[in-house]
């Protein structure tokens, strides 16, 4: 049914919890703020960084930009690879590629970091390209990344694309750009979050995801 499969990165292809939470801790310590619980820190996985600093910590635009800078001090040197591929993902991607599907990474994470992660974990061979945000946080909203991925891959028929991700941002971004979407429950979003956002499909594990995609 779908020829092009757009995959979110964090919480969909890889589990980035250790690197992302440690990066937030590094930034929050710099500002002298109380460190939230690990569970709360994990809720920050997925949304664009400036949004989290502004909505959760009440930072203004300038302070949020400084927060992102401090976060990346840790992430760029250590947090990037404090990460692991979900079991079953390489096999899923290999099967999809063999079946003739075109696979694309569409993530709000900076493209520069995303390419390094995908290459480090040996996943680059499965993807046409990796589409992410820019280091200045432009093109960080999910619909902007998706629109960029559509343009970069010269896709004229949006009905042939499925966006796959674990958070509401993936689902809402797909809706805004006119795509169908699939939410995965093995990442960091809940059934309620994905249903409320209007996911066309919701799967509990990679086996179910395989069944839908093939």
Residue in 31, 38, 32 with CA at minimum distance from that of residue 68: 31
Q: Pick the catalytic residue from 8, 15, 166, 170.
A: 8
Instruction: Please spell the DSSP secondary structure of 180-203, one letter per residue.
Output: EEEEETTSS--HHHHHHHT-SEEE
Residue 146: phi and psi, rounded to 5, are -65, -45
Is 27:125 a contact under the CB 8 Å cutoff? no
Catalytic site residue 8? Answer: yes
Q: To the nearest 5 percent, what fractions of the chain are helix, strand and coil?
A: 50, 15, 35
Question: Using CA atoms, how far apart are residues 179 and 174, in angstroms rounded to an integer?
Answer: 5
The residues carrying an active-site annotation are 8
């Amino acid at each position: 049914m779908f020829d092009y499969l757009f995959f979110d990165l964090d919480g969909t292809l890889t589990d980035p919890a250790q690197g992302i939470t440690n990066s937030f801790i590094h930034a929050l310590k710099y500002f002298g703020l109380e460190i939230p619980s690990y569970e709360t820190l994990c809720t920050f996985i997925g949304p664009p960084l400036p949004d989290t600093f502004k909505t959760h910590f009440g930072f203004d635009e300038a302070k949020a930009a400084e927060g992102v800078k401090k976060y990346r001090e840790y992430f760029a040197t250590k947090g990037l690879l404090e990460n692991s591929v979900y079991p079953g993902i390489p096999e899923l991607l290999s099967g999809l590629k063999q079946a003739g599907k075109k696979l694309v990474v569409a993530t709000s994470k900076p493209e520069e970091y995303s390419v390094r992660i995908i290459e480090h974990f040996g996943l680059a061979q499965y993807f046409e390209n990796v589409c992410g945000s820019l280091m200045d946080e432009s093109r960080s909203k999910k619909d902007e990344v998706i629109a960029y991925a559509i343009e970069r891959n010269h896709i004229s028929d949006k009905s042939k694309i499925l966006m796959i991700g674990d958070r509401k941002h993936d689902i809402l971004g797909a809706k805004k750009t006119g795509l169908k979407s699939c939410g995965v429950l093995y990442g960091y979003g809940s059934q309620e979050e994905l249903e409320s956002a209007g996911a066309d499909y919701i799967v509990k594990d990679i086996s179910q995801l395989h069944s839908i995609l093939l």
